Amino acid sequence: DINKCNWLKKDNNDILVIDMMLRIFRFALIFWAACSLFGCKDYCRSGIVENKYKPRLLKLATYSDPILRTKTKPVIFPLNEEDKNIIADMQYSIQPAQLKAANAPWEAAVGMAANQWGIDKSIFLYCPTGDTVNGLEVIINPSYTMLNDTDSNSQDTEWEGCFSVPLATGNIKRSLKIKVKYQDEQGTTVEKELHGWPARVWQHENDHLNGFLYDDHFAGKCLEKKTFNSIAEVDEFYDEIRNSRKN
């Protein structure tokens, strides 16, 4: 009768709905298993798999490479995919394990400029504490001005090493206080003052982007340069300096 037919139709509709739900559930399980197998575990909220970029290991430019003595090109905002990938490569390559893998002169850094890796971009990594995990900043289109430059106490000298000048160190005169200006990865302009060691690290890296190394004569910053036959000799020299200051 009519009532029986209506119930049959209702039962068939319920079966179709349940069947569809089971199909979706099975598909979700297969999708999850496939992504887990191939390492695609990051999802956006819409359920689309993110295609994450895998950073590559960068190799350092040699001392004679012209890019180290060429002013780098400014970065345009918003960042394009190429620039984002370059930053990811830099953040990856400055880590101690990667510096070692790249046969860098040292296995720890407090900063590194893009052109030290042969990249013509006004970007440098900045971590004056030496913490390349939690203390690493991306500095884009930077500049700095020296503060109180006429004051005799506004500058000091310190021995500096450089990944682009291996087996050497220089006694470098730099300003103790500077005002810096740069953009972060979002394009926000930041201005602040730096003093002491952070100011010295900034000047060293910013000078790279301006196209010169600490030992370039025209820069007039290197008061004395020492060269060595091995990294062990360099380390021994720095140990002697540290011990003399303790005494």
Q: Does residue 78 have a cis peptide bond before it, meaning omega lies within 30 degrees of 0?
A: yes
Distance of CA 112 to the CA centre of its chain: 8
List 160, 185, 205, 224, catalytic entry: 205
Retrieve residue 152's tokens. Answer: 């005799």
DSSP the chain: -HHHHHHHHHHHHHHHHHHHHHHHHHHHHHHHHHHHHTT---B-TTSPBP---------PPPTT-GGGGSPPPPPPSS--HHHHHHHHHHHHHTSHHHHHHTT-S-S--SEEEGGGGT--SSEEEE-TTS-TTTS-EEEEEEEEEESSTTSGGGEEEEEE--TTSTTEEEEEEEESEEEEEEE-TT--EEEEEEEHHHHHHHHHHHHHHTT--TT-GGG--EEEEEE-SSHHHHHHHHHHHHHHHH-
205 belongs to the catalytic site: yes
Catalytic residues: 205
